[in-house]
Structure 1
Amino acid sequence: MDMVLDLIAGIGRATLSFIRGAGALALFALEGLSHILRPPFHARVFLTCFVETGFFSLPVVALTAIFSGGVIALQSYTGFAQYHAQSAIAGIVVLAVTRELGPVLAGLMVAGRVGAAMAAQIGTMRVTDQIDALSTLSTNPMKYLVAPRLLAGIVALPLLVLVADVLGVAGGFMVAVVKLGFSAPAYITATLNAVKFEDVSVGLVKAALFGFLIALMGCYHGYNSKGGAQGVGSATTAAVVAASILLLAFDYLITDLFFSH
């Protein structure tokens, strides 16, 4: 009987801890978003975060997109050749890249690179009391540290995904033409016929949400880190893991919302 009660008590404590954490995260997100809409706006901090999130993430996102598009074309050919349906490869590459792989892979790359950097930077400021110093200088830490990063993530990731979409399709094109012997004009025509505004736009909506989630996780875990260098390391790891899980979960929810009917 005691074991059952201990188990129920443990489940209750875990549930309450989860609800408390989710509530704290929601309040943190709402406060950060509210500061985006209220002056003053720290444009220089935003531009720095935007360049860090977008421009400096471009090489890793571009390489990931090119090779992913090539792999899709190669694997699609292997499967479709059994049914003499090789002509559908161009459409499959466009569909997979614009709907899923462009936003998801770009988001995961940015989460690993930028989300970790945000958590480490803000976490270091927290454990060295720099955030408290901002408050004593009449600078709101949420407005100065969090809001510009949230906005940078929302703006930069859709731009990265646009580049990833183009390069992913280009990667599939190169593999199909150079390795698989497709006709370049025919492949381009099939690609243009397969592109749909809905697929691209939903991919960009995903990207904006993913950018927000990545920046939110980095800022939240960094802002609430404690315990010196070890705490900063734990916050960095937690930010990347949480952002990756939320990214995949919301990817499923958005896909189910827009494409399941």
Structure 2
Amino acid sequence: MICVSWNVNGIRAILKKGLTDILAQLDADIVCLQEIKARSDQFEINSEMYPFQYVSSAERNGYSGTMVLCKNKPLSVDFGMGVEAFDNEGRVITVEYPDAYIVNVYVPTSGMGLNRLDYRLGWDVAFGKYVKSLKKPVMICGDLNVANESIDVFDTFADNFPGFTEQERASFRENLLDEFIDTYRMKYPERIQFSWWSYIGNARAKNQGLRLDYWLVSRELKDYIVDSKILDDIYGSDHCPILLDINIESSKQLKAP
């Protein structure tokens, strides 16, 4: 089963940059998009390619938002994580299949100046509790807005750089990596590769980025991971897509209509 995650930084903008062709090329079974910045009535994605489409929009127009595209119908779909304080920005969609949950998440940034750090840390605790409450193996993907290790940044940033503070990295480890596996780092423990680059200073051409996007899986899925890739040759956003190839024993059930 091929699964793709991508922070598109505006679904309407990236559709004009060839998103449909990119999706056709990747031919993933499930696509999870973050930061779509739109309502479902403001854009259209080919329904023959992906007949099952689920959107969670923020209450604030043109902000945040997530979307899941599925070739095959999930058993259930849930929006948010059941915490009112964190569920008004359209940041979580969970789709259930017979053998696993797939959770698409766009974790809030702590913001320049760390003005939203306390909100972010509270979010981490709530999200960790949510995904650990699910009663099947879990696959988590999205822009998690944290670079876990020094190898995940192009340079040593100041402690107050959002996404690389000690507080955020510790929170990531305590609330998610205590039970879930970082599939990319499992496959490539020493590889230096990034998934986000600032638009400022020609950062992508210089490869001055951070690895902020992840596929995490429950430990019981570890042996079924075929590959976990950062597709940094695909453009259209300040993030690039990430891909998980997973071959669990019951994958036929997961892909069944």
TM-score (norm 2): 0.24
Point out the structure with the larger helix share. 1
Name the structure with the higher strand share.
Answer: 2
Larger of the two Rg values belongs to structure:
1
Query: Greater relative contact order: 1 or 2 (C-alpha under 8 angstroms, separation 6 or more)?
Result: 1
